[in-house]
């Protein structure tokens, strides 16, 4: 990135803050943003933005600089398969709603007791546990799918456990807002 990418970087940084709110005042946020910019400046903005997608889909809190660096794809688009039309449409729709959707009432979700929770679009993984990537509009993306049933329940169990852990370590009891992230309210369809 160069200083010409500062605006695009600020947008990427703020996109993460929408999903993972930071407890910091305006001056602190600006300071953090400069630190993160420096930590990520050796990568092109396009790859920094792809990392935001990955972190939004799979993260549980605002990433540390090193975590953001790790999420930057090493390689460009070599060997990646383009998403087909229906996959691309699903991916774009998921992205537009911060990878969350209306609660699902399918048999799997009913059995797992998750019909009261928002659906989540989660990263697709290969047999090694690595995220599967593809090309969307010529750019590499992490491929995803909508989790249902036990998988969706486990996603929330992991995130709720993290929320109560970080609330405890901050000397607070968990509040509703730390269990239900703001993005879920934002992305609820009007
Ligand atoms: Zn379902």
CA of residue 51 to ligand 1 center, whole Å: 27
Give residue 59's pLDDT: 86
CA of residue 174 to ligand 1 center, whole Å: 27
Rounded to two decimals, the pTM is 0.51
Residue 54 near residue 123, CB atoms below 8 Å:
yes
Residues 6+ apart with CB under 8 A from 142: 50, 53, 54, 57, 58, 123, 124, 131, 132, 133
Q: Phi and psi of 147, rounded to 5°?
A: -75, 145
| 112-128 pLDDT per residue, tens | 999 999 999 999 988 87
Give residue 130's pLDDT: 80
| 28-85 pLDDT per residue, tens | 999 999 999 999 998 889 889 989 988 988 888 999 999 999 888 776 566 688 899 9
Q: With b meaning 16 or more CB within 10 Å and e meaning fewer, what string describes 79-109?
A: ebeebeeebbebbeebbebbbbbeebeeeeb
CA of residue 110 to ligand 1 center, whole Å: 7
Position 13 pLDDT exceeds 60: yes
CA of residue 58 to ligand 1 center, whole Å: 19
Please give the structure tokens belonging to residue 121: 């679009």
């Amino acid at each position: 990135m160069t200083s010409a990418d500062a605006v695009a970087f600020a947008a990427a940084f703020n996109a993460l803050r929408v999903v993972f709110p930071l407890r910091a005042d305006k001056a602190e946020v600006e300071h953090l943003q400069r630190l993160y910019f420096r930590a990520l400046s050796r990568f092109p903005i396009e790859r920094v933005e792809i990392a935001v997608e990955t972190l939004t889909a799979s993260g549980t809190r605002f990433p540390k600089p090193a975590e953001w660096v790790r999420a930057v794809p090493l390689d460009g688009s070599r060997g990646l398969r383009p998403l087909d039309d229906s996959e691309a449409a699903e991916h774009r729709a998921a992205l537009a709603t911060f990878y969350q959707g209306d609660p699902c009432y399918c048999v799997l979700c009913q059995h797992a007791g998750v019909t009261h929770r928002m659906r989540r679009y989660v990263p697709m993984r290969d047999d090694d546990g690595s995220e599967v990537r593809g090309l969307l509009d010529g750019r590499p993306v992490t491929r995803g799918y909508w989790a249902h049933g036990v998988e969706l329940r486990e996603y929330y169990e992991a995130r709720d456990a993290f929320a109560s852990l970080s609330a405890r370590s901050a000397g607070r009891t968990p509040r509703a807002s730390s269990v239900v992230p703001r993005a879920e309210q934002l992305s609820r369809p009007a």
